[in-house]
């Protein structure tokens, strides 16, 4: 099933690599924030790319369709409209294309939405992931898998910065619990079927074409609409801070993970030897308080709004802070964009995008 906007593309053209690496990558969640940026980056450097996205309505589907038309279509990325829980569809795709890598980014995101629709997290983050792994492990030439995890797995861990060696058995939200479950499921498939798997723990990704449910996004909207800003604090007026990581840095980390992933050693569901298994943080290493985030946005937007301080909602952890030592060694990873520079790029995109939408409706 191919999305209407993609019918004029030829999948053979999209999957044919034009680079020395010869990678052919299957990207799940391709119309999502990270998925769209990563798919375009892969295509532009010469890799073959096929995307999959179910275009669900967790947030404004118009934004997802815009990523499709403005980013993916223009880069020549072929996107199939479908769900990772559809095993028949996945087997058809893997039968048509011999993928060398899977970049698995499809997931039900967000901490607070789990209190409204918990089953969506189980269906996407656990059931969907297992379904994908089942298809991959049954392949004769098993592709290496790079899968998105989250800094949320560190949960109630109070030791900072967060290291991959730290405990991750105290999730503070259902979202975090499903992401941790995904890491454990990945380990099991690595051990049993020799799948090469790299899990990337993303730390608060932001930037142009981002998700409207993220704080920096709806703060921008509220500031422009002259709405009161709600800033959450921890117990005893403690600071809530996030290790905001710009989208380009995350994409570079994803591409490096693909390039350094070793081949799976199994075939057709049979284990042939030990395979690579990695869990790696991708962050900025410089946590910024929510107060400072709002102050930067106000400066960029040239608007000041009244702010009210509230206690955090359930599932919100006080701070995220990445130790990226392993990412430097394994991936050659480094952050290149600080928060003020990144927010400047985001604000420019936001004003351009929503002004264009407003003008097109006149």
Please give the positions annotated as active site: 175
At 87 the three-state DSSP class reads: helix
Taking each helix axis from N to C end, the angle separating 339-360 and 290-301, rounded to the nearest 10 degrees, works out to: 50
Phi, psi values for residue 347, rounded to 5°:
-60, -40
Q: Dihedral, CA atoms, 156, 157, 159, 164, nearest 10 degrees? A: -140
CB 183, CB 150: distance < 8 Å: no
- Phi-psi category of 144—alpha, beta or left, where left has phi over 0 and alpha has psi -120 to 50? beta
- Token reading at 90: 């996945």
CB 123, CB 85: distance < 8 Å: yes
Q: Where are the alpha helices (DSSP H) in the chain?
A: 11-15, 33-44, 61-67, 73-75, 87-96, 118-121, 129-137, 174-193, 215-224, 247-260, 290-301, 325-331, 339-360
Q: Report the C-alpha gap between 35 and 103 in whole angstroms.
A: 9
User: Residue 30 contacts by C-beta under 8 Å, 6 or more apart in sequence?
Assistant: 36, 39, 51, 52, 53, 72, 77, 79, 105
Phi, psi values for residue 58, rounded to 5°:
-60, -40
């Amino acid at each position: 099933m191919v999305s209407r906007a993609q019918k004029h593309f030829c999948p053979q053209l999209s999957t044919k690599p034009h680079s020395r690496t010869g990678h052919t990558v299957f990207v799940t969640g391709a119309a999502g924030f990270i998925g769209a940026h990563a798919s375009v980056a892969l295509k532009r450097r010469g890799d073959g790319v096929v995307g999959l996205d179910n275009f669900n309505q967790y947030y404004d589907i118009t934004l997802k369709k815009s990523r499709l038309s403005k980013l993916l279509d223009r880069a020549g990325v072929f996107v199939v409209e479908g769900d990772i829980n559809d095993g028949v569809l996945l087997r058809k795709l893997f039968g048509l294309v011999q993928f060398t890598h899977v970049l698995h980014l499809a997931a039900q995101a967000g901490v607070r939405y789990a209190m409204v629709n918990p089953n969506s997290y189980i269906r996407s983050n656990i059931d969907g992931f297992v379904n994908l792994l089942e298809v991959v492990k049954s392949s004769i030439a098993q592709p290496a898998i790079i899968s998105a995890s989250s800094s949320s797995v560190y949960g109630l861990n109070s030791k900072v910065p967060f290291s991959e060696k730290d405990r991750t058995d105290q999730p503070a939200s259902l979202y975090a619990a499903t992401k941790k479950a995904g890491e454990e499921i990945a380990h099991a498939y690595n051990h049993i079927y020799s799948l090469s798997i790299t899990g990337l723990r993303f730390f608060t990704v932001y930037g142009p074409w981002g998700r409207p449910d993220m704080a920096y996004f709806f703060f921008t909207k509220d500031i422009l609409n002259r709405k009161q800003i709600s800033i959450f604090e921890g117990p005893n007026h403690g600071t809530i801070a996030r290790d905001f990581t710009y989208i380009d840095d995350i994409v570079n980390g994803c591409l490096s993970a693909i390039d350094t992933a070793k081949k799976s050693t199994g075939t057709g569901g049979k284990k042939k030897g030990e395979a690579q298994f990695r869990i790696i943080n991708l962050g900025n290493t410089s946590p910024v308080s929510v107060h400072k985030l709002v102050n930067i946005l106000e400066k960029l937007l040239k608007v000041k709004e009244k702010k009210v301080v509230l206690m955090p909602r359930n599932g919100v952890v006080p701070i995220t802070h990445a130790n990226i030592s392993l990412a430097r060694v394994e991936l050659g990873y480094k952050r290149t964009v600080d928060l003020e520079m990144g927010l400047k790029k985001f604000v420019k995109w936001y004003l351009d995008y929503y002004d264009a939408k407003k003008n097109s409706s006149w």
